[in-house]
């Protein structure tokens, strides 16, 4: 029993394609909701990570929000202008810059969280509780196995 020949399988059967398609769709929906507050998805992620109140270095933050360093630097520049976050040089390692969320950032983050939760609930309704948690489990395990 040989495996089916994949060489000519349509692109819609490739895992990489399905992931891209699903990500695109879900991301678009989230974008749409967050646009109510005029905030791009990346900025929400940043605020969310910083909302634990601790300082996070740029490198740490870049990993957490799935951006590479230069891109993050420039987004942070904008967010500093908007007084959503601020930089503090790490006293223990002065190469590092620690990022903190501002009070204004916290307020905005709360609003964004509830918009994001709205979306998750909407998915839960149309897609189902069970499928959703199963999908999350499989995605986590895929990410784990990819390192």
Partner DNA sequence: TTGAAAATATTGAATGTTCAAGAATTGAAG
Partner DNA sequence: CTTCAATTCTTGAACATTCAATATTTTCAA
Site for DNA in 67-86 (CB under 7 A): 67-77
The answer to whether the CB of 136 falls within 8 A of the CB of 129 is no
Residue with tokens 């903190």: 100
Dihedrals phi, psi of 110, to nearest 5 degrees: -60, -45
Number of Cβ within 10 Å of residue 43's Cβ equals 24
Helix (H, G, I), strand (E, B) or coil at 68: coil
Binders in 102-131 for a second copy, by CB under 8 A: 110, 113-114, 116-117, 119-121, 123, 126-127, 131
**Cβ of residue 57: shortest distance to a second copy, in angstroms?**
17
Residue 56 pairs in a beta bridge with: 99
Give the SS3 label for residue 88.
Answer: strand
Q: Which does 71 bind (CB under 5 to 8 A by kind): a second copy, DNA, none?
A: DNA
Q: How far is the CB of 117 from a second copy (least distance, A)?
A: 5
Quote the tokens at residue 71: 């891109």
Q: Report, in Å, the least distance between residue 82 CB and DNA.
A: 12
**Contacting residues toward a second copy, per CB under 8 A:** 6-8, 10-11, 13-27, 29-30, 41, 45, 48-49, 64, 66, 110, 113-114, 116-117, 119-121, 123, 126-127, 131-132, 134-136, 138-143, 145-146
């Amino acid at each position: 029993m040989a495996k089916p020949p994949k060489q000519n399988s349509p692109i819609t059967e490739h895992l990489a394609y399905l992931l891209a398609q699903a990500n695109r769709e879900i991301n678009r929906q989230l974008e749409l909701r967050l646009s109510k507050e005029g905030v791009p998805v990346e900025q929400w992620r940043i605020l969310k990570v910083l909302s634990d109140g601790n300082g996070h270095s740029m490198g740490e933050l870049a990993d957490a929000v799935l951006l590479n360093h230069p891109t993050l630097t420039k987004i942070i520049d904008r967010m500093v202008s908007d007084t959503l976050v601020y930089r503090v040089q790490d006293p223990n390692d002065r190469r590092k810059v620690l990022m903190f969320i501002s009070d204004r950032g916290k307020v905005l983050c709360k609003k964004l969280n509830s918009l994001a939760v709205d979306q998750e609930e909407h998915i839960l309704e149309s897609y189902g509780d069970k499928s959703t948690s199963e999908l999350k489990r499989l995605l986590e395990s895929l990410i784990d196995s990819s390192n």
